[in-house]
Structure 1
Amino acid sequence: MAIALALASPALAQRGAACHGGKSFEQFLTQLKQDAAAAGVSQRAIAAASPRLVYDQSIVNRDRGQRVFGQVFTEFAGRMAANYRMEQGRAKIKTYAHAFARAEKEYGVPPEVIAAFWGLESDFGANMGKLPTLRSLVSLAYDCRRAQMFHDETIAALKIIDRGDLAPSEMIGSWAGELGQTQFLPTHYYNYAVDYDGDGHRNMLRSAPDVIGSTANYIATALKWRRGEPWLQEVRVPASLPWDQADLTIKHPRSQWAAWGVTYADGRPLPNDNLPASVLLPMGRHGPAFLAYPNFAAYTEWNNSLIYSTTAAYLATRIGGAAPMRKPTAPVTQLPFNEIKELQQLLARQGFNVGKIDGILGQQSRIAIKTVQKKYGLPADSWPTAELLARMRGR
């Protein structure tokens, strides 16, 4: 069946050509194929993929028009880490007990950690995306926004074909070129996918054992998972906590957090040991509180959204048997997008590096907010409030 492609607007086409030395898409594609051959991809694989290496402006439009994420942690986690997904994760661990046990033995990654990513990324294979991967990759490679990244991803996809793992027609995934039941970029697929069912192919689209083994390999090898250590635990924090210490960039031994009055969520005392951890407050001092251990870095490497990474880590604890998180100790309100953006602008005018002024509460914005909260004598929990915004407006 023929695929109808969106026509490129002259302005966007010119931008695409400009960052490739004025080359047309056809000239760019010729060079890309030469680069693939130089990287070791066979002419057979390049020829098999060529009919699908076509430009689609609608993919570029989607990349440039990504929506701002506006949900607070409890809303997102309530939807994405719901009971049905927890139960599905536990069921998958039972169904594929051998593959999960093998993955934990070989890579040190617990089954619930793998299952949580599997559930969040594709609902255990139910929603892997419906777009031709090669078309997405080559379109994004021609665009100027992340040209080198997607140039390399396109070549990695060709290597996957050349290795015999997937045929070009099987490469169907997200608009951003991610593949399989845990949505690997092609470079990750090529480098970390493993054949866990013994059929001679690494098929993360159809083989659950391959998904389990490959995801474990990636988490352990690329994301540096520490065998036998926790990743996230819900805790209860006292009103007297030095709030400026609650920051992912600040680690203290559990014994120090215990001395400050932090306990497990059920009130049990923390171990009096030297295991380093950060206190994570995704919604400020009145919202949920967690101890984030060194393994939590694997989650922020997987996805740098704090809300997503915390949800993935929390879901893994739930699949592993942890209780549901406690309700906030007081109502927590998130500033609307336009007010967060205004706050970022005010912070930038005062000389703070908040990164991109985009209405998204990222790590740099949180650090700046904490500094200003301390200046105004407010609890320095890095959570933006109407009171803080009013102070900064000079009201």
Structure 2
Amino acid sequence: MRSSLPALRATLAAIAATFSFASLAKAQFAPAPAPITRAPHVATVPSPRAGSCHNGQSFERFLADLKQKAAAEGVSQRAIAEASPYLVYDQGIVNRDRGQRVFGQLFTEFAGRMAATYRMQNGQQHIRTYAAAFARAEKEYGVPPAVIAAFWGLESDFGANMGNLPTLRSLVSLAYDCRRSERFQGETIAALKIIDRGDLSPSEMIGSWAGELGQTQFLPTHYVNYAVDYDGDGRRNLLRSGPDVIGSTANYIASGLKWRRGEPWLEEIRLPQDFPWEQADLTIKAPRSKWTSLGVIYPDGRQLPSDNLQASVLLPMGRNGPAFLAYANFAAYTEWNNSLIYSTTAGYLASRIAGAPPMRRPAGPVAQLPFNEIKELQQLLVRAGFDVGKVDGVLGQQSRTAIKAMQLKYGLPADSWPTADLLARMRGGARAQAGPVQ
């Protein structure tokens, strides 16, 4: 099944644009090379506008100031000197960041590829191989092995594909660029701290183009704050040590993402035809007893526990697609990566690794609006007074909320899924509001 990875690279690189900035490179599946042993040459020079947010400072002046900030935060001059040959600007990294194309993909297509049987089985095998580390992590942090293994598989295919670019070059280039300068200045300083405490050398820092490191793709700030030495060698090595990857990922999920010990995260369900679709929303939380009273059951017909455990009904493809109960722990997935497709896939893969059956396929094809029509729908929603965030053709939570409101207005099933019917009605409404052409 490894042969399927090259075909995914272009797809996932495009989907990465729908992810949070911290996850832009998580879907890169390029082969991981051996660490470079010498400083890379400067590939390109900054564009004329690159320093506009730094009072026109040259990159060299900006870098000198950044090194001073790092020293003020406790980074040693030794570590700064070791890293300096790698702190070079690459306009190609910035171009890549700014040039990401967005395209949509149905959840069932994405999950079918990324939560495929081979990856589920690989996750189960890794749990057996590292049984002691997984057991320790669950005892100390309360995070089940399947949850850790799912992220491990999705982020790097268990270390096979961690990226192939010098991390320091990526970070400092994005720090000098004006789009997210402050954030990446902090990430660059965090990378220097990783070097300073002896976890990785500058030449070992090879990862994604957005500066993430290791087998579960940690940003340097997460590496500094949550990486733990689980193999006892005195280093936190998330590139080479399976136990360190397991313990560190569990620590981040538990401490950074507030995982709730002993609680579920995502379960597939079946909804009745007369379900009140407007109730299917991650912002609406209710006890399972309420969902039971509305006719929600498991896919095999079993009843849900009629208890007070809070959950939301999640329809990643509207009422004609799969349905899930998303529990409080599902928030850890959306915090890890705010793409609904990615987070739902990660939760689903974890459930599969833990032993859940494959999800039911939709009874028929689920129509999806093309990118340009989703963008047009967003524009119409903005004209109707809704805040959808960025009008970018990406179906985020704000867009879904606005879509549901308009579905209710037009008497359509309010499942937050954009349809040709809704678009046609909104086009008609916009024409009526504009009045006759003079």
Same fold (TM > 0.5): yes
CA contact (8 A) 1:5 1:57 kept: no
Pair 295,192 (structure 1): closer, same or farther in 2 beyond 3 Å:
same
Pick from 261, 266, 288 the counterpart of residue 254 of structure 1.
Answer: 288
TM score, norm. by length of structure 2: 0.88
Residue-by-residue CA offset, 1:340-384 (whole Å, 9 max, x unaligned): 000000110111101100001000000000000000000000000
- 1:323 corresponds to: 357
- 2:89 corresponds to: 55
CA–CA separation in structure 1 for the residues paired with 2:232 and 2:340: 37
1:394 aligns to 2:428 (yes or no): yes
- 2:63 corresponds to: 29
CA–CA separation in structure 2 for the residues paired with 1:309 and 1:338: 24
Pair 205,66 (structure 1): closer, same or farther in 2 beyond 3 Å:
same
- 1:218 corresponds to: 252
Mind listing any 5+ residue stretches in structure 2 that lack a counterpart? Answer: 1-37, 430-438
- 2:45 corresponds to: 8
Shift of 1:2: 6.7
Pick from 180, 191, 214 the counterpart of residue 180 of structure 1.
Answer: 214
- 1:346 corresponds to: 380
- 1:372 corresponds to: 406
- 1:190 corresponds to: 224
Letter of the structure 2 residue corresponding to residue 249 of structure 1: T
- 1:382 corresponds to: 416
* Paired residue secondary structure (2:335): helix
Pick from 345, 352, 362 the counterpart of residue 311 of structure 1.
Answer: 345
Mind listing any 5+ residue stretches in structure 1 that lack a counterpart? Answer: none
* Paired residue secondary structure (1:290): strand
* Paired residue secondary structure (1:264): coil
1:148 aligns to 2:160 (yes or no): no
CA contact (8 A) 2:54 2:62 kept: yes
1:157 aligns to 2:194 (yes or no): no
Shift of 1:21: 1.5
CA–CA separation in structure 1 for the residues paired with 2:265 and 2:298: 14
* Paired residue secondary structure (2:51): helix
Letter of the structure 2 residue corresponding to residue 372 of structure 1: M
* Paired residue secondary structure (1:212): helix
Bigger shift: 361-370 or 60-69? Answer: 60-69
CA–CA separation in structure 1 for the residues paired with 2:104 and 2:161: 22
Bigger shift: 38-47 or 18-27? Answer: 18-27
Shift of 1:66: 1.4
Shift of 1:173: 0.2
* Paired residue secondary structure (2:321): coil
CA contact (8 A) 2:39 2:85 kept: no
Pick from 191, 196, 200 the counterpart of residue 234 of structure 2.
Answer: 200
* Paired residue secondary structure (1:269): coil
CA contact (8 A) 2:333 2:343 kept: yes
CA–CA separation in structure 1 for the residues paired with 2:76 and 2:103: 41
CA contact (8 A) 1:370 1:381 kept: yes
Bigger shift: 64-73 or 342-351? Answer: 64-73
Pick from 321, 333, 337 the counterpart of residue 371 of structure 2.
Answer: 337
CA–CA separation in structure 1 for the residues paired with 2:291 and 2:48: 55
Letter of the structure 1 residue corresponding to residue 141 of structure 2: Y
1:291 aligns to 2:328 (yes or no): no
The CA RMSD over aligned residues, in Å, is: 1.0
Displacement over 3 Å in runs of 4+:
1-6
CA–CA separation in structure 1 for the residues paired with 2:77 and 2:234: 22
| Identity %, equivalent residues | 79
